[in-house]
Structure 1
Amino acid sequence: MHELARVTLENEMDLILAHKRSMKLAELAGLSLSAQTTFATAVSEVSRNAIDSGKGGCLILSVESDMRDKYIVAGLKNELPDKTNTREGLEHAKKLVNKYKVSTDGSIELFYNISPAFRIDIQKLDEWRSLFRNEPPISPYEELKRKNEQLQELSERVKKSEDQYKVLTNSLPLMIFSLDDQGQLLYANEWLLQYAGHNLNSLNNSKWKNVVHEEDYHSFCLLLQNNITKGATTIKIQVRLLNKNSGDYLWHQISLTPLNTEKEESNTRIGYMVDIHAQKTIEETLKDNYELKQAEKKLKDNQRILEQYIEELNRSNLELQQFAFVASHDLQEPVRKLLFYSDYLLSKYQSSFDEKSLHFLNSIQGASRRMRYLIQDLLLFSQINKEQIQFQEVDLNTVASDACQDLEMVIEEKKAAVHIRELPRLYCDERMMRQLFGNIISNSLKYSKEAQAPEVSISYKQENGHIELIFKDNGIGFDEKYLPKMFTLFQRLHTRQAYEGTGLGLAICRKIVEMHQGKIWATSEEGIGATFFVSLPAHPVI
């Protein structure tokens, strides 16, 4: 058996290293890519169990050659074997290799056959050992692991001479130190002292507060306490340390290992600090990039769904507008005929009908008129189209005057007074704005008190780039709990017998206001009157 490389198994990073070196050995042995993967997978199965057990282990990669067969071999030696745990991974691994061996001490050997024609001699084995020894690290962790192994070798040597210890530690590009059981520094090499800008006594007196970042200080203090770390093999944490020269806090990985002599366990602990700031920066950048990409993907998906909803909604709205327009037009003719024939019958043959027949004819006329008003309002509502809006500078005084002129008969009939204060000029659609004024004034006249002449006051105020129109009346008012339903299609607060109407007037007002990028609302008390507010942007975005 010719040993080529070793990998100590402690964590997931060691598992990656074991897999990589197994793949490398299989590649050197001339195996195909699929065979390389099969062998490395088998090695990973048993290696993972050793790591998960937490009892340590060592992977030894070797070559076995005799006259007939040649094998690449992966041997796993556990420091404290757990046969139950290793058997689990072995069940998977043994299906992937040509043969395997399990020793009484729990060690496992996996054999993978290589071609007999493949020549393996001493020179080739030395070449392979050199490749493994000088192979560049695949990650900062592997480099850190190698330095850790170097440090362990050096620690054995420096026990004999402190001078030799100082020379060796100062020669390494690592910050090396030793602690007693109270967390006091016994030794710090030149790398650490120069980086921190403090001597040994200063670091002990300040308890590292001037060096360790305040957010990492608590976990760092726990590392210094011997009663917490006692019994552990190696403790590792990541903290930010202040570089005295640059004034920057840089991420370092600190490892602390008990220093045990041959005769007894010592309270001294050996530690070292490695700059991992670049690695942390890359990790954070990759994490941020991943989260950003996920957010962008989710945003694009939501945008696509929203666009589909908007397209469907626009199509539905267009179909509804077309339906309302066509249906209203088709309904007008039969309603017109009903009104015409009922009028004709009442004017020509009224004396020929009895009281019940006259009642029926009057009911037909009343229903036909209500249907005509409803059709006209539906037509008006369906014709309020965003694409047809024509913005221009409009004098609202003229708009209010024209709206009152249209309602002249109702105003005279109810002896109403409409007070119009000086109104501004506004960039809007004049036709729609006249409809808005007419509907709100008509609403105030309709819901007036029987024993009191209606009064409507129209004024405005301007603030925050908006013009707020105010329509105040002295009518019957309403309970504000009904406010949400007042601006909805076909919603009425009173019976048709008490007040005529289709329930479309305020809905039309709301649609016109929304077309102008504004808001409409109202306040009221029953029996006192109502005030309607219309807020419109002074300079709408077209």
Structure 2
Amino acid sequence: MKEIAKVSLQNEMDLILSHRRSMKLAELAGLSLSAQTTFATAVSEVARDVIDNGINGYLVLGIYTATPQKSVAAYIYDSRTNLSLQAPALQNARKLVNRFQYTGTPEASCIEMYYHLPTVVRQLDQKITEWQEQFNYDAPISPYDEIKRKNEQLQELADRLKASENQYRVLTNALPLIIFTLNRKGSIVYANNWMHTYTGFTPDQINTANWKQVLHPEDYSSFYSLLGDIVTTQAGNLKLQCRIREAHSGSYIWHQVFVAPLQEVHRPDDYFIGYIVDIHAQKEFEQASRDNTELKATQQRLKENELELTQKIHQLNRSNNDLEQFAYIASHDLQEPVRKMIFYSDYFSKQYAHLTDNKGSIYLENMLQASHRMRNLINDLLSYSKIRKEVTSFEQVSLQKAAGIALQDLELTIKEKQAKVTVDVLPVIEGDFSQLTQVFQNIVSNALKYSKEQEPLQLHIYPETDNTGMVHLHFKDNGIGFDTRYLPKMFTLFQRLHGKDEYEGTGFGLAICKKIVDLHNGVIDAVSEPGKGADFIVSLPETQNKKQ
């Protein structure tokens, strides 16, 4: 179906919008007035049921072009998974359209309704584009419609702004200097990780003490005057050299502080951006050789370093784009040749194996196994690259349900291994359901892979809670275990404690788990001894608000 319009279903006003837009689309598609009314009535029947009884419902209107019989189509989605098709509203709607279809998943339900177009519409694709533009740019049909459109635009803008902020945070945290923003009161609004790493204090702690705990006493008055200047002057960039205490050594190191107004069209001079650069080496040189001609060269090099820093920022942006391109290549261009290698190697092995000697057969088998390993590696790399903060959606997640789905996916392997997996009652926390399900699946799969040959696996999954708002999930098994000295290595990409000939795998499973747990503001750890099993512990906050 080619989408034309979309309406969320929350209240009576949304019901009116869905009816009017259904009528309008049916009219544009050339249906008669009675057919328009019939189609819109069917849509309204299902929409009302979703508004009255559903969860997070919405309507998608469009044109179905997949078959010779083109149709006006309406898809109504509902987060309920126990939708009753015997409801009177759904039964009435079924009688009003040419085709009525239900599809369901463990997460949502969808009612599809189709009303056939009476005649062939010429240049249908062009008309669909025109209808889409008409729905997007037509004047609102009511004040509620206008407010709803504005709200959707604001939500889209907020999502884009959040993504931009995340990119900015990643960039500033990657740079080896302190970057911060100030409000008109001189208080820190944002600071990258380097401020806490270098000074040992959080921005809130620095604001509370007005920078006294990090500045050299002799430089404090001049620095505090700088903060006063930014709220009273309309000047451009402000610069100051001062000594800042390094938390690791306790020494005061010379730094150059730059502060400039962050100009905005509607709120000029409300915020100020600054960065702090280590110039200790330069200051020592100036003190020892103040009249030396090399001083000017050093100052020139500082300017060049500033220019180089700007260039590196652009390079970092290009690197992010390169990473996105790499993910695309891995998902498309790399997989196709690997599939062909596997296909032709397998075909050659089956059809021409009798034409090769024993050594040739061994080489062919090695090539086929290498192709399978390459395919698994690409798939795991893709899975790892798809786990990003901007696509992580936090909601109430039943860990019991996530564990059940993971065990169901591994059912055949569990039976083959004759493993016994017991799961205690698990709580509900705030998180991303698909990602947490993947954590269960990867850790259980890891336990199955590293079970003892002569002893069936026994895996016990159980929770522990404390008064800090954290849930500690234990995955305790009786497998081969490992030396905890290698624990950091286990959570790193491409790292394995065993050779590929001993145990299959690409080394991505636990690295994916760690990335997911990090995105959930949690911690993953393990306790183990060689030959005595392992206990993987995943600690997750009950609610994300406490950690953000």
Give the TM-score taking structure 1 as reference length. Answer: 0.44
TM (norm. structure 2) is 0.44
Q: Larger Cα Rg: Structure 1 or Structure 2?
A: 1
